[in-house]
Amino acid sequence: MEKWWKETVFYEIYMPSFKDGNGDGIGDFIGLTNKLDYLSELGIGAIWLTPFYQSPRIDNGYDISDYYSIDPIFGSDEDLERFIEEAHKRNIRVIADLVINHTSTEHQWFKESASSRDSAKRDWYIWKDTPNNWESFFGGSAWEYDQRTEQYYYHSFAKEQADLNWRNPEVKQEIFKVIEYWLLKGFDGFRLDVINNLTLGETFPDNPTDENGEQIHLMDKDQEGIRDILSEINAFIKKINPKAFTVGEISSDDLETIAKYSEDNILDVTFNFNFGSVEAFKVEKVFNELKRMDDIYQSDRDPTLFFGSHDMGRLWSRLANGNIGQAELLATLILTAKGVPFLYFGDEIGMEDLVQHSIEEFRDIQAIMSYRLALENGEDIQEAIMKANKASRDKARAPMQWENEPFSPVEPWIPEAKRVDGRGQRLFSFYKKLIRLREIDDFCYAPYKHLEIVNNLIYYQRGNCLFFLNFGEESETVENDWEIDGMLLSNVSPKWTQSEIEIPEHAAVILAVN
């Protein structure tokens, strides 16, 4: 199968939070390997691992200090190799999160670059005598002054994450060696972090500001030449493994910009955060985004479908609002609409947001920076904690809750969220049935025959499957224009006659049609 991901369900695992296998309070490869049967039972076809490389963990692993070494907290090379081998035995592929926009300032490359203006690696990073107005995506200036060499270096995120200079061909060649190393280890592809942020320009014009004085990130991403370099990266990956998969995180809220990175063999798919990271569920907004994705992703391209990740609040808290029927509807949408589905660990059992009560409990640099800025602006500690919780990505990073055993025999690296109740078993069973349906039917490859909305009811047909998703508090009725051959799956039973179909409130219904 050339494009195996079209019928695959991906499952994101936040490495330190999935399962502790060696008793130190941190998730690791031993724990992952021990839970592969759980993922196999669920029906997962591919795992996306967040960074596991050597790192000071200022940004929880997205600040890599050695691309070739596994952080000891996650295990050894042998542990990783056994995990990949055991995953492949279960027909589960594994993709790695790869951060090539920046490195940790603890990386040897940066240490050499910062040692002298005459360093052979000086031009591996971006140094300036006078900074422009660019701001970090985490807030504050994106430039940090280096006392030793009396220049500023550029960091689009935390000051401990220095951006690589992709104009330098030596950087590109070294990163290609990294890519080859991990593919030969057995990985089946990569999730490429903030990949359209790669710095390629020779000039650094200021970013504009909006009417409120807030900076618009315009000149610091999507720079000239980015499509060419990503095409080159993708081609290099496919040369080593023609079946390898690439998914890009794109720093943009413009769907056409996001989509263009999955055309012309640039990347296989890209994440659309307009769909996945909505702060509150509105059926019209979700439907309109489905329509827009269908309009823009033409020919053989596919959007991605997700409602959770390590960078946003939990599906249960943010979108389901504690309603199990709503959670089942969201699961049905992700797993049956047109696109490549990505689940986030714990959403299949209804895990909720972690709420933290003191600054000592936070691990996310984004939350900690928000807390500090609030105090600097004169707000009290309670207000600062509220702002930190709002900004925090820790809310979705609490340890996985296992049914009959703890995440770890010792205190976890991060506080645990409130325990799920009986909803866990019900949701897991429903996710499992949805994924199984994808395996026995051909709708994964089928376009929409219908994609409609009536009040709070979204319905669509793909292949011989008809999907009804009623997000409302009242039943909805539509004309029966199909020859119904039976019900494939539902969380609440519908009613139908030859003339109409009635879908109860909070019902997810899948019918077989001729």
Domain assignment of residue 172, yes or no: no
Q: Which residue among 440, 455, 473 closes a domain?
A: 440
Residues 59 and 77 in one domain: yes
Q: Provide the b/e sequence for 386-396 (b: ≥16 CB within 10 Å).
A: ebbbebbbbbb
What are 65's two structure tokens?
Answer: 């200090």
Q: What is the pLDDT of residues 192-206, one digit of tens each?
A: 999 999 999 999 999
Whether residue 27 contacts residue 73, with contact meaning beta carbons closer than 8 Å, is answered with no
Report yes or no on 453 lying in a domain. Answer: yes
Host domain of residue 472: 444-513
| pLDDT for position 378 | 94
pLDDT surpassing 80 at residue 434: yes
468 and 348 within one domain = no
Percent of the chain with pLDDT over 90: 89
For residue 424, give Cα distances in angstroms to 47, 112, 195, 328.
21, 50, 35, 12
Asked if residue 26 is part of any domain, the answer here is yes
Same domain? 428 vs 459? no
Short-list 234, 232, 156, 158, CA closest to 198: 156
Run of H or E residues at 490: strand 484-490
pTM of the model: 0.94
Residues 400 and 252 both lie in one domain: yes
DSSP string, 162-174: EEBBTTSHHHHHH
Q: Are residues 346 and 494 in the same domain?
A: no
Together in a domain, 45 and 125 = no
426-445 average pLDDT score: 92
pLDDT at 278 over 90: no
Confidence band for 296, pLDDT divided at 50, 70 and 90? very high
**154, 184, 219: which is the final residue of a domain?**
154
Closest CA to 217 of 157, 261, 273, 267: 157
Determine, yes or no, domain membership for 188.
no
Mean pLDDT across the chain:
95
H/E run at residue 151: strand 151-154
Q: Which one is predicted more confidently, 163 or 264?
A: 163
pLDDT top residue among 277 and 95: 95
Known catalytic residues? 193, 249
For residue 487, tell me if it sits in a domain. yes
Domain identity same for 265 and 406: yes
- Do 123 and 86 lie in one domain? The reply is no
- The domain that contains 504 carries what CATH number? 2.60.40.1180
Domain shared by 469 and 435, yes or no: no
In a domain, 379, yes or no: yes
User: Average pLDDT of 62-85?
Assistant: 97
DSSP-derived 3-state class of residue 388: helix
Average of per-residue pLDDT across 160-178: 98
Residue 226 maps to a domain: no
C-alpha 314: how far from chain center: 12
Q: What is the pLDDT of residue 138?
A: 87
Q: Are residues 469 and 329 in the same domain?
A: no
Structural domain count of the chain: 4
User: How is residue 10 written in tokens?
Assistant: 């991906």
How large is the average pLDDT for residues 471-488?
95
- Domain annotation covers residue 194: no
Residues 135 and 93 in one domain: no
Asked whether residue 90 falls in the same domain as residue 19, the answer is yes
**387 CB-near residues (< 8 Å, 6+ apart):** 370, 371, 373, 374, 379
User: Per 3-state DSSP, what percentage of the chain is helix, strand, and coil (rounded to 5)?
Assistant: 35, 20, 45
pLDDT value of position 1: 47
Q: What is the CATH number of the domain that holds 60?
A: 3.20.20.80
Residue 298: the pLDDT is 80
